[in-house]
A = this chain, B = another copy of it.
Amino acid sequence: MTDARRYFPLPDPFPMLRGGVLHQAQLAYETWGKLNASRSNAVLIFTGLSPSAHAACSEQDPNPGWWEAIIGPGRAIDTDRWQVICVNTLGSCMGSTCPSSIDPDNGAAYGLNFPDLTLEDAADAAHALVQHLGIDRLAMLIGCSMGGMTALAYMLLHPHGTRGHISISTAPQAQPFAIAIRSLQREAIRLDPAWNKGRYGEASYPEAGMRIARKLGVITYRSAMEWSGRFGRIRLESNHREDQPFSLEFEVESYLEAHAKRFVRRFDPNSYLYLSRASDWFDVAEYGHGSIERGLQRIQIESALVIGVDTDILFPVEQQKIIADGLTEAGARVQFVALDSPQGHDAFLVDTQRFGAAIRSYLDTIEIPDTT
């Protein structure tokens, strides 16, 4: 297996916001492009809930990354110009310390003994990495979906931590529809007897719960409009299985099935629970005495690009508007872009043409200073 991941050992102990500490913890990350002499061209990317740090291919790992069309030489995030760093979120199971990691205190996997995880912890772990790399101030902090909330946490905890910011399909706080969806995903996992309060193994993986959680995710990541055009009422060629009553019949069901198959057993159920709950917990208003606007006022950046999608039902575009307005209030030069991509919340992964154009056009306005 080729692998471009590097591993940063977090400060030991690493204290967690809601209590508890991690020992001998690490953060997986990948980089593309070169840091300039004044260390003023660094771009940090926080991912959504499930992707790894492998956002794009590289010599060490030629496999396409999850944002391959956006990152690279001459691409919207031009690695000839920027040094790009993508971290695997603390608590995720793609190389960073997570609930399936071994607790050095007792030699067993953490499971539910992993301390409560917040996006602030994920932001702080990445901040420690950035400092370790000798970067005083990021040129650009980018966050997609859950990663957009992690980026907000980063800027709230380190108000001068970045000069610029790209906020993609995210929210300043979860609204009840998103909480309800995520709560139901967590419940599906928890109700699977194989989950066993977080003590499962290869042979007893909570597959049913993870299937439901993933399919529900995919349903809310896309849009009804896209699916009507794409699947309509097209039926599968042969669906009749006497031994599988009520089995799949429509193409849209088979599409969900394929997504579930690619996800289940690849992602750790406890990681999913911890990251999902952290997304529900995050709230900019906690930094503004109950007001999102006042919370955003704390963030001291020069400029920002805030992108949302009209068809996103999980992170509705109105929530991105609130971020854009708040950052403008805080003194930043802000571009707000509402795209009419049909692909809903997932558009940033799929409609890379529209997203790429918006990101390129914003980054073209950013000068790289000789000193930070």
Contacting residue for A175 out of B112, B227, B251, CB 8 A: B227
Instruction: Say if the beta carbon of A64 comes within 8 Å of chain B.
Output: no
Q: How far is the CB of A115 from chain B (nearest CB, A)?
A: 12
Assess whether A183 is in contact with B253, with CB atoms less than 8 Å apart.
yes
Q: Could you say which of A28-36, A48-56, A190-198 contacts chain B?
A: A190-198
Known: A176-B232, A191-B212, A233-B283. A112 touches B245 (CB 8 A): yes
Instruction: Say if the beta carbon of A96 comes within 8 Å of chain B.
Output: no
Assess whether B188 is in contact with A250, with CB atoms less than 8 Å apart.
no
Assess whether A176 is in contact with B228, with CB atoms less than 8 Å apart.
yes
Contacting residue for A176 out of B193, B227, B277, CB 8 A: B227
Instruction: Say if the beta carbon of A184 comes within 8 Å of chain B.
Output: yes
Contacting residue for A219 out of B184, B197, B249, CB 8 A: B184
Give bound CA distance, A235 to B280, whole Å.
11
Instruction: Say if the beta carbon of A89 comes within 8 Å of chain B.
Output: no
Chain A residues in contact with chain B, CB under 8 A?
112, 173-177, 179-181, 183-184, 186-188, 190-193, 197-198, 208, 211-212, 215-216, 219, 224, 227-228, 230-233, 245-246, 248-253, 256, 273, 277, 280, 283, 313, 316
Q: Could you show 12 A-B contacts with beta carbons less than 8 Å apart?
A: A176-B230, A180-B215, A180-B256, A183-B252, A183-B253, A184-B216, A188-B188, A190-B245, A191-B208, A191-B211, A224-B316, A250-B280
